[in-house]
Amino acid sequence: TTAATLERFTVNFTITNLPYTSDLQNPDSARFKSTRRVMNMMLDRLLKDSSIGPVFKGCETTDFRYEPGSDRDQTRVDAVCTYSKEPWAAPLDRVGLYHQVSNKTRGITQLGPYSLDKDSLYVNG
């Protein structure tokens, strides 16, 4: 039997009710740490309930940023998620996973207390 390898994929989206501030740029700031902790927890909960749940390992929010030229009331979230690529498991279905995340976020509008830009979700293998 071959051992499973850990594979990563990225999840990116924009929160429309989290104003971007410079302390979200600083990984050592209390605001960055607390926002990352909440984001990781919500992403983990979301993906544990998806089709990759049995092989899902967790998400780590890597960055908060704002899009140049966009409203600073919005914050872009970048996360890297890890799953175990088991020999028996189907390959990661990015499109299917995108649709599951969309369904679980009310059409990419709501993640916990956060409002999402419905056109902002990317799931990238």
- Segment 21-70, tens digit of pLDDT: 999 999 999 999 999 999 999 999 999 999 999 999 999 999 999 877 77
Structural domain range at position 63 = 5-124
Say what the pTM is.
0.90
Q: Which helix (H) or strand (E) holds 32?
A: helix 30-48
Specify the CATH number for the domain of residue 72. 3.30.70.960
Looking only at the bridges linking them, the beta strands covering 114-115 and 5-15 are: unpaired
Tokens of 89: 């498991």
**CA end-to-end span of the chain:** 25
Distance CA 39, CA 45 (A): 10
DSSP 116: B
* Plot region of 15 (φ>0 → left; ψ -120 to 50 → alpha; else → beta): beta
